[in-house]
Each structure stands twice: as structure tokens, then as C-alpha cells.
Amino acid sequence: MSKRSGIHPVARRAARGFSLIEMMIAMVLGLLVVGAAIGIFVSNQQAYRATEGLGRVQENVRMAFEMMARTVRESGGNPCNSTNSMPLINVLNNPANNWWSRWGVTPANAPLGSALVGFAPGAAVDGLATGAAAGQRVAGTPALVVISAEQRAATVVSHTPSTQSFVVQNANHGFQAGDLLVVCGQDSDVVSLASVTDAGVGTVRLGGLFQMSNAGGGTTIRHAIGGSTPGNASANLGPAGTEFTFGANATISRVQASVWYVGNAAAPAVGSSLYQRVLGPNGAMTTQEIIQGVQAMNLTYLLPGANAYVAADAVPAARWGEVAAVRIELTLQGTQNVDGAPITRQLVQVANLRNRSL
């Protein structure tokens, strides 16, 4: 019997690695995991942007409301009399020509003499340009003028009308030539009420508004005729150009005047911003961009006895001095897009004027 060949068939080795189907399934599962991770990342990013954008809008509106409300509350205030009832003799040249020099309660100038005056959309504010340039007022938006005296004050030692000069206790008052100043007397510095109003009986404490005509740095403050812009028309601080002597312990404060409005944003920002234009010496103005992204501002006013706020053009000219509260409505827009559009919020705050009767 012949022997078989010694060659034996080799057993087939088991297949190693992944099959094509397994690899495709793994790739699909991997893509699903990666897609889910990307989706979570994008969702978190959008949520972060929305939270950050909303936070910035809220911070901007908080700052805007705080600054505007503070100036509104202080309207007409001064260190001597916070009820806004003290007659203020304005001796400036042509005070009605400028929004910042009109403060002064006299019968002939009562509508313009209020420390708070609103301007309806489209109503011109002298010296405030409307246009497309940065800082200029946006057409069709309202404006608000607010005037008061700073709380920081110099105390009067003596007043000599013949030399148009006050002597104050301290030379570090910070006043300089061209500053508009308010002097207000103590309880003894009174005039007859009939001398400052058409119908009045008794006496009333008096205040005066003038421009400092000498350089600062000393204890003497002068109110001579002439001077810088606008200058003093009279050196007498009494009613109707009469001489009046303020007693010791009267106080002198700098006038702070500002106009609030919506203007074109400064580059590189686009859109509009909330601006405050502030009075400096000799009528010089400083324009400050307070916050960006303010798309609209609506201002309405409450008069005593009324049950609704009204627009500026519905407030009688002679009643601006009676306004008790201002309703401020701002529409703000964020700088980052969320879901294809920027975050927009419309917020409202009411500012009550101090010591005004509702």
C-alpha cells in the first residue's frame, strides 16, 4: 500500500480586524457623537451670547436710568432751598437765548425759566444740531434740559454790592472766571413777594444767578457787568435791577446744566447712543456719549393732579415748573446677534422731582 503524500491542506486562518459594514457603523456612530457634541457646543455658545448680550443691555440701561434719574431728581435744587420755590434773579445777558442760561423765575420768563424743560420730537434745541454726524441729535427724537446747582458750595462772609463782590470763607471753592453761579441767602435774605411775582403777599427768600467775572483761586467772587459769554447785564442781584445785599452764611454754588438726547454713535460703533451735553465755563459745551445701542427714547411728564403722563407738546408752557415726575422709556439694542438678530429690550423708569407735589 502506497503512502499518501506528506502534504496536508492548511486550515484557513480566522479573519482579523473589522469588516466594511462594522467600519461604516462605527463611522456613523462617531459622526452622531461628534454632531451631538457640536450641537451642544453651539447651543451653549448661543446661550452664552444671549446671557452676555442681555447682561450688557441691562447694565447699560441701569447706568442710563441712574444718571438721568439723578439729574431729574435734582432739577432746580440748590443748597439753600430744595422746594424749587425760591425766586431766582437771573442777571445774565439775554438769558432766554440759550437753554443753559434760562433758569430764573420771573413773570416774563416763567415758561423758559423752569429748571426742567422737555422738547418734543422735532422741536429744536438751541445750540444742539440735528444731523447724521457723530454726536448730532437724531431727527424725530425728544430732548430734556435739566438745570440745578451743585451741592458743593462756598459760604459767604460778606457781600459788598458797590464793588460787586462776595468774600467767601475758603479759596478752595473751585470756581473760575466764566462759571455760572447761584447765590442763595439765609432766612433773613428776603424780599417782598410782590416784587418777584404778579400776585404775592409777604416775603420770600431770594436767590441770584450771575457769571463770575474775576479769576478763581482767591476768596473774592465778583459779579460785575460784562465779562465773558454771556456776561452779566446788571451787577445788582435784586428784583428788577435793584441792589440787594446777601448776608453772611449765604451760599454760592456752580450751575450744572445738561441736555439729554439720542444722537448718532461715534465710530466704530453704528446706530445711535444716549448723549449728555454739559455746560462748562463761558458757555462751552462738553458732549458725552453715555451708552451705545439706544435706539429710541420716549419722555412723558406728570403734572400735579393729573392721572396720566403726557408728551412735552401737551405740557402748557407756563407749567413746566410744576412737573412732578418724568417717565423715561428707553429702547436698547445689544451689539451681538442671537438667532440672527440683536437682543432688543424696552425698559421704563419713573423719576420723581424732589419736593414736587404729586
pLDDT of residue 7: 58
Cell of 29: 456612530
First to last CA, the chain: 132
Q: Residue 93: CB partners within 8 Å, gap ≥ 6?
A: 230, 231, 232, 233
| More confident position, 173 or 39 | 173
Q: Which residues of 202-238 are buried (b: 16+ CB within 10 A; e: fewer)?
A: eebbbbbbbbbbbebeeeebbbbeebbebbbbbbbbb
Separation of alpha carbons 30 and 23, rounded Å: 10
Q: How confident is the model over 46-99, as pLDDT tens digits?
A: 666 666 666 677 788 888 899 999 999 988 888 876 555 677 889 999 988 888
Cα–Cα distance measured from residue 170 to residue 154, given in angstroms and rounded to the nearest whole number? 7
Average pLDDT estimate for 23-34: 83
For the residues 243-271, what does the mean pLDDT come to?
Answer: 91
Enter the pTM of the model: 0.80
In the structure, what pLDDT confidence band is assigned to residue 152 with cuts at 50, 70 and 90?
Answer: confident
Question: How much of the chain is helix, strand and coil, in % rounded to 5?
Answer: 25, 35, 40
| Sequence spans of domains, the chain | 53-352
DSSP at 124: -
Farthest-apart Cα atoms in the chain, separation: 157
Q: Among the ranges 1-15, 21-35, 76-90, 245-259, which has the highest mean pLDDT value?
A: 245-259
State the pLDDT at residue 114: 82
Question: What pLDDT band is residue 131 in, cutting at 50, 70 and 90?
Answer: very high
